[in-house]
Structure 1
Amino acid sequence: MRSSALLSAILFALATPAFAETALETEADAKVETGASAEAAATPDGSGEQPLEQIQVTATRAARSNFDVAAAVSVVGEDEIREKTVITIADYLRAQPGAFIQSTTPGQAIPIIRGLKGSEVLHMVDGFRMNTAFFRNSPNQYFALADAQNVQQIELVRGAQSSLYGSDAMGGVVQILTPEERFQGDSWDGRGRFKAQYSSGDLSSLGRIAGAVGKDGISFSGGITVQDVGLRKLGDDGQRVPYTEFSSWAADAKLLWSPTPGHELMLSAAYLKQPKTPRVDELITSFHQTRPNSVEFYFQPQDRLFVQARYVIEQDGGWFDRAEFHAGYQKINDDRRSREFGTANRELEENSSTLRGVTATFNKEVGNHAFVYGAEAYYDTIDSFRQRLNLNTNVVSARPPRFPDGSTMDSYALFVNDSITLGSQWQLDLGARYSSFDIELSPNAAGTGVKLSPDDFTGNAGLTFKATDTVHVVGNVGRGFRAPNIFDLGVFGSRPSNRWAVPNTDLKPETVITYDLGLKWDNPGWQAEAFVWKSDYKDKITSVETGELTDSGAIIVTNRNVTELDLWGVEAGARWYLSEESQFYGVLNYTRGDETYAGDTYDADRVPPLSGRLGWLQKLSPVLELDVNALYAARQDRLSPRDLTDPRVNPEGTAGWNTWNARLSYEFAPASTLALHLDNIADRRYREHGSGLDEMGRSASVVLDWNF
């Protein structure tokens, strides 16, 4: 059965390779910050209009066509973003080439990229790192703290990208680009957007109001989003699951000002808060459990504040053609309230990361060379506090914090990338980066602290062969790394299962080398990509027993660089424009992984199953559109030892599934739609591998998206 599934995956990859099925860029000369797109409007047949070009910025730190870069890139553009109903921002990447979504709770989700997750993937917003020093290399909640309604484009670069982006960019880079409103003419003008959405499957409602005013050279924009999610209804029996409700609200503002030609200043601020989000898998009975782990477990609250300034200079001549400077501030609060069964002790936590960063990036073309070079520095401070409230006595007592309070992680880097045109058919991309870290963990109550100063030198190479004007063959090899962070170093003392954790001051960065080979097609009637890839992951940080015991008999454990992973897979999909009114699209992803520790080899942790989607988009009239699609995943019974003990994972394996879905959209005014979404029409009950609860059953959503 597995061999037939694998054969199907490979055949599909060769026949209909991967396409980052996205709204296509409306402006071929878009700046780095834009990403406006119009896939739905560009649906030509073989003799009609050429689909508009996809412009990405993440793979090269420069605005270039996706077709012309060697890297594997998935782009979710503006039109596709408007077409989806999502709970968190990770949902936009569901069934995109190279991505699989894991959600422990409805309010929190992460993308798994080429088998890697959490701090093994770099998350960014408008060119600024979102990853903090307490990101863990497993599912976490922080990516959901970016507003899913304040997005213009999402770019996913698959494979090691540490040369341009440094630590954590081992599985890839996910970058969110937020809207930037620009105006023309000397008179002030304005535009606005109102969105309202209601879904029956989780009784959720959403509203956003946004607007912008400006003229040539200056604009002000902003918006407010409010979201309320109720109890999730499962498939088959219509049961609603407790502890699945949460709410959030967000606000954002942005100024764009061009003081002189070729210069632009951007100032932006964004804030999102989830006041109280249950951790569902801790509060409901799941696999191999007779009762839940906790009677209370809430992220209460979770919020993120992000403020950034960017200055861009474009000029002719000199030592750069374009310079871009960023200075940013991000604060993430991770507060928690929990209580285990059989105790009156409520644990109250306050954890925060304050991340400050500056970057400078320069672009310069010299002859057949296109250089990108620059420097960056980030400074992260972790504050952590915990106390215990006894509900019987109301006595409050101090507890050791989750992380050593006041710990810091600073990083500095220099990087360069050169795209070299070698004749009319060949292009070579070379990159290199040097990174240095200063990591200091304050001594805990026992006087235990850590100081580390690791550094790393990494590089990458990509080669593009332009076989024809419409077919490119690309290959890449890149080395990625992840420096040990506060999460890896900062968990000391008593641990579950009679363990006692001690720090390891000899931890070094994890490393990965990724190879991929791909084909890219860009024909008038269809667009596609196909990649096969392999990753060799070394020095993975893992908790191991030291062979010693404490005086009280607890097993002493510590983190060490001891585990190796062998990962490989296929990413495939395509969009075929049958006519100006009709399109067919498909995506397929397959990942396989093995882990080795102390001479034993076993299935790797949390590896996604064969999955993807197939769909048909039909223009019924100039203003009426129908999209019918199916999401699917094969059975996944290749489970790691950790999966076998995780209550989120069925120890017998996660069953395969498929859902049928439809969207009927009416464009009642330019760029304004009223849409009906029908999801999981067959009302199947299923679970995405590794997620904390079953997915939603049959659901109907009504969405009003009015631009004025």
Structure 2
Amino acid sequence: MKLINFLVLLFLVSIKLQAQNIKVLNSATKTPIFGVAIYNLDKSKSVITNFRGEAELSLFLDDEVIYFKHLSHVLQKLTKREIGPLNKVFLDSNTQGLEEIVISASKFAQNKKDIPQKIISLDAESITFTNPPTSADLIENTGLVYVQKSQLGGGSPMIRGFATNRLLITVDGVRMNNAIFRGGNLQNIISIDPFAIQNTEVTLGSGSVIYGSDAIGGVMSFYSHKAQLSYTDALEVKANGVVRYASASDEKTGHFDFNLGIKKWGFKSSVSYSSFSDLQMGDHGPEDYLRPEYVLVTPEGDKIMQNMEPSIQKFTGYSQLNVMQKVRYEPKADLSFDLGIHYATTSDIPRYDRLIRYGSDGNLRSAEWNYGPQQWFMSNIQMTKLSSRSDFYDKIKTTLSYQNFKESRKDRDFQSIYRNVREEAVGAYAFNLDLEKALSPKTKLFYGVEYVFNKVTSEANQENIVNATADNTVTRYPNGATWQSASVYSSIKYKPNPKFVFQSGLRYNYVMSKANFEENNVFLNLPFSATENESDALTGTAGISWSPSTMIQWRLNGSTAFRAPNIDDIGKVFDSEPGSVVVPNEHLKPEYAYGGELGLKLNFNDRLILDMSTYYTYLDDALVRRDYHLNGETEIIYDGELSHVQAIQNASKAWIYGFELGLKLELTKHLDLTSQYSIVGGKETMNLIEVPIRHVAPQFGNAHLLWTNKKVKLDFFANYNGTLDNNQLAPSELEKDYIYAKDQNGDPYSPSWYTLNFRSQYQLTHAAVITASLENLTDQRYRTYSSGIAAGGINFIMALRYSL
């Protein structure tokens, strides 16, 4: 009897081995990999993993070599015996392959090679290695996005001559742009925690068909880490901790995330905290950037103090807290529900460029100028179904989201007893429905609808710091103003063969805003008490991707884009520059962009890759700040100062063009040379005269010499930036001469600069990774174009990551 039981048990074990179910996972993220081709040497046996990364290996013998192949991962070969009792196979990411899959082009995964536009990607591995302090620095590391900073707690991206509210930011597919995104430099991007980002995609050029208003110059798409499931009855517990220090700003950062996964549920929590002190600039460069004196606020009054270390940029430090919570539920292999909650807040952030301005009396103008705590809250729930027999769709994604933005400004002139405090908040609701349908084996249709609603609250008062009283004053925005957008879009992808892809799309958008100015009319006496602005737009795109051979890929794309007036355009009141004030204007319509791009990629057996692009954009009815009049007056008193009246107007046209070159050269198996170079040019009309455009950056680029092996990664790299002479600066930049160096004639200009840098990463153990960097090795003193703060001098950065 015992013999029979033993034989039965042996038979069952044999059946279990033969019917081995395995799960294929990414070695870094431990997430399932869908679509892994599993086959033997002669490919007579093959299976493919499902949406859970699962496959059945009963076809294969125990000692038979099995190949695991996936586009974005390194080929793996194992026998069933080598897989072991855990029944898990881990594949290493192939960085080049990962960049071939993008989501932002249609809201669903596509092969990057099929997209006629240029899209650049950063994955979790490269983000960890570059170790950015903020998400502004994260996208700057792409080498194709220029970043301006007015203060240390800032970062305003520029893409192909466009910036601020002409660029779109999305987080997990939800638009971050809101009704008060302004034309002046923005720092909302720093609210996104770089430690929480799984991957980033930057679309260079128009994205209006998929994303609507604001996506004129480009789209920056951030995708945060998802909660991971175990897909078994066992618990999946993971944790990561990071500590980082940077010497130039005395930065101290801590991060911790924790993931708990079970068969159908996953939970991920993340928290990051950073503290920055005053930033120290370099020793070698223009003396115009030094901080010789500063205002010290004391109980006895404001005092101008000599800065004993003028390379220390007094009053630039701040702190930031980020929290994220994710929940994921997968009742079926092709159906998932994702809940995401993000929260970010900062301390007061000193606006450094305003603190270094001098008044007509020769003294520093401001005693205080702070952005108050910048707060961002987002909650979104997303349902994704990746397989359906419906006649209307094969894949469907539905997203509901709510965001709340809070910001404030607090400023006080030198020796004034009055502090101006203006506080704004925006509640933003959005609904997105995105679908994909295969019309034939060669044709796919993407379509969807979107609705967005924003409500703005704005308060202002003038505080007397002596007797602690406060009086109402003019608010920055009309309190209670609303902005809403409804749209429908569709795009089609036709791929008759592997060498040729045609994509085209259309979007119709209707936008309406309402504002009431009764509260501000007490101070401004506007000729209207309320306004309602309606506009609609039809935009389109068409392009081809053609690969006549494995060596050559051509991209050609044409598109239209638009930006509808928002509450910032219609109803803002603020001091745009010393001696000027912007007032509301109800007579606005959308601005339109018409553009084209031609790209060529040459791939010489993956040893040498050249990626070139040239583009041209014409902007019509551009919304720009120009001189205006209020009730016939060209000057009014604002915050106690006689100021020139200005307003946002459809008063300009612009022409922007540029060229980009990317290079990757494999010198040896472990050593690569990569480089990016961009040149942008353009003009706009101002009083019938063509003048330089504000957000056209100087030529810029980088070059990296990267060496890697199993445990070590070393990167020696240079960043560089060209000159913008005085006659190349936009009129609005010439008015801010206090942030620029002076040329031999004493006129403001933006000088060229370069930095040499070294970055390293070492895998101490399976769980511990150390990253160390030396930035600006030659201690250059420089400011990136249009920035109000000088960049850091020589900077030592150390980070330790430990994973469980």
Same fold by TM-score greater than 0.5 = yes
Structure-1 residue corresponding to 2:351: 279
CA gap of 1:552–1:147, structure 2 versus 1, over 3 A, is closer
Q: Distance in 1 between matches of 2:585 and 2:111?
A: 45
Q: Distance in 2 between matches of 1:442 and 1:82?
A: 47
Residues 26, 52 of structure 1: 8 Å contact kept: no
* Correspondent of 1:429 among 500, 503, 513: 503
CA gap of 1:661–1:286, structure 2 versus 1, over 3 A, is farther
Please report how far the alpha carbon of residue 578 of structure 1 lies from its aligned counterpart in structure 2 after TM superposition.
2.6
Structure-2 residue corresponding to 1:113: 159
Structure-1 residue corresponding to 2:676: 587
341-350 or 69-78: bigger deviation: 341-350
* Correspondent of 2:279 among 200, 212, 232: 232
Letter in structure 2 aligned against 1:642: S
Structure-2 residue corresponding to 1:327: 400
Residues 530-557 of structure 1 show CA distances to partners (whole Å, capped at 9, x for unaligned) of 1101110111112334567647964664
Letter in structure 2 aligned against 1:696: G
> Is 1:491 matched with 2:572?
yes
Residues 347, 386 of structure 1: 8 Å contact kept: yes
Residues 446-500 of structure 1 show CA distances to partners (whole Å, capped at 9, x for unaligned) of 2622101111111001111111134210111111100000000112599877767
SS in 2 for 1:301: coil
Letter in structure 1 aligned against 2:739: R
Q: Distance in 2 between matches of 1:477 and 1:625?
A: 40
* Correspondent of 2:451 among 346, 369, 377: 377
Higher-RCO chain (CA-CA 8 Å, sequence separation at least 6): 1
Letter in structure 2 aligned against 1:135: F
Please report how far the alpha carbon of residue 678 of structure 1 lies from its aligned counterpart in structure 2 after TM superposition.
0.5
CA gap of 1:140–1:548, structure 2 versus 1, over 3 A, is closer
Residues 550, 556 of structure 1: 8 Å contact kept: no
Letter in structure 2 aligned against 1:383: T
* Correspondent of 1:100 among 146, 150, 165: 146
The TM-score, its normalising length taken from structure 2, stands at 0.80
Structure-1 residue corresponding to 2:242: 195
Structure-2 residue corresponding to 1:639: 729
* Correspondent of 2:319 among 243, 247, 257: 247
* Correspondent of 1:539 among 621, 636, 639: 621
Q: Distance in 1 between matches of 2:242 and 2:72?
A: 20
* Correspondent of 2:180 among 115, 120, 134: 134
SS in 1 for 2:195: coil
Q: Distance in 2 between matches of 1:589 and 1:84?
A: 21
Q: Distance in 1 between matches of 2:703 and 2:71?
A: 20
Structure index of larger Rg: 2
Structure-1 residue corresponding to 2:97: 52
183-192 or 258-267: bigger deviation: 183-192
> Is 1:576 matched with 2:665?
yes
Structure-1 residue corresponding to 2:262: 215
CA gap of 1:639–1:214, structure 2 versus 1, over 3 A, is same
Structure-2 residue corresponding to 1:14: none
Structure-2 residue corresponding to 1:13: none
Q: Distance in 2 between matches of 1:220 and 1:494?
A: 46
* Correspondent of 2:434 among 356, 361, 372: 361
Residues 67, 520 of structure 1: 8 Å contact kept: no
Aligned-residue Cα RMSD (Å) equals: 2.7
CA gap of 1:343–1:373, structure 2 versus 1, over 3 A, is same
SS in 2 for 1:52: helix
Structure-2 residue corresponding to 1:649: 740
Structure-1 residue corresponding to 2:44: none
> Is 1:516 matched with 2:597?
yes
Residues 50, 524 of structure 1: 8 Å contact kept: no
Please report how far the alpha carbon of residue 316 of structure 1 lies from its aligned counterpart in structure 2 after TM superposition.
3.7
Residues 549, 556 of structure 1: 8 Å contact kept: no
Q: Distance in 2 between matches of 1:495 and 1:105?
A: 17
Residues 506-550 of structure 1 show CA distances to partners (whole Å, capped at 9, x for unaligned) of 311011111110013454334442110111011111233456764
* Correspondent of 1:181 among 203, 224, 227: 227
Structure-1 residue corresponding to 2:288: none
The TM-score, its normalising length taken from structure 1, stands at 0.90
CA gap of 1:604–1:50, structure 2 versus 1, over 3 A, is closer
Q: Distance in 2 between matches of 1:663 and 1:566?
A: 39
Residues 26, 38 of structure 1: 8 Å contact kept: no
Q: Distance in 2 between matches of 1:97 and 1:59?
A: 20
Structure-1 residue corresponding to 2:544: 463
CA gap of 1:64–1:223, structure 2 versus 1, over 3 A, is same
Please report how far the alpha carbon of residue 86 of structure 1 lies from its aligned counterpart in structure 2 after TM superposition.
2.3
Length, aligned pairs only:
675
Structure-1 residue corresponding to 2:611: 529
> Is 1:678 matched with 2:780?
no
After TM superposition, the structure 1 = structure 2 runs for residues 686-697 of structure 1, keeping only pairs within 5 Å, are 686-697=782-793
CA gap of 1:614–1:171, structure 2 versus 1, over 3 A, is same
Letter in structure 2 aligned against 1:309: I
After TM superposition, the structure 1 = structure 2 runs for residues 438-453 of structure 1, keeping only pairs within 5 Å, are 438-445=512-519, 446=521, 448-453=529-534
Structure-2 residue corresponding to 1:20: none
- Segments of structure 2 that go 5 or more residues without pairing to the other structure are 1-28, 37-49, 54-69, 76-93, 285-308, 522-527, 637-643, 742-746
Structure-2 residue corresponding to 1:11: none
CA gap of 1:416–1:291, structure 2 versus 1, over 3 A, is farther
520-529 or 291-300: bigger deviation: 520-529
CA gap of 1:316–1:231, structure 2 versus 1, over 3 A, is same
> Is 1:349 matched with 2:422?
yes
Letter in structure 1 aligned against 2:664: R
Q: Distance in 2 between matches of 1:652 and 1:532?
A: 30
Letter in structure 2 aligned against 1:565: A
Q: Distance in 1 between matches of 2:581 and 2:787?
A: 29
Please report how far the alpha carbon of residue 270 of structure 1 lies from its aligned counterpart in structure 2 after TM superposition.
0.9
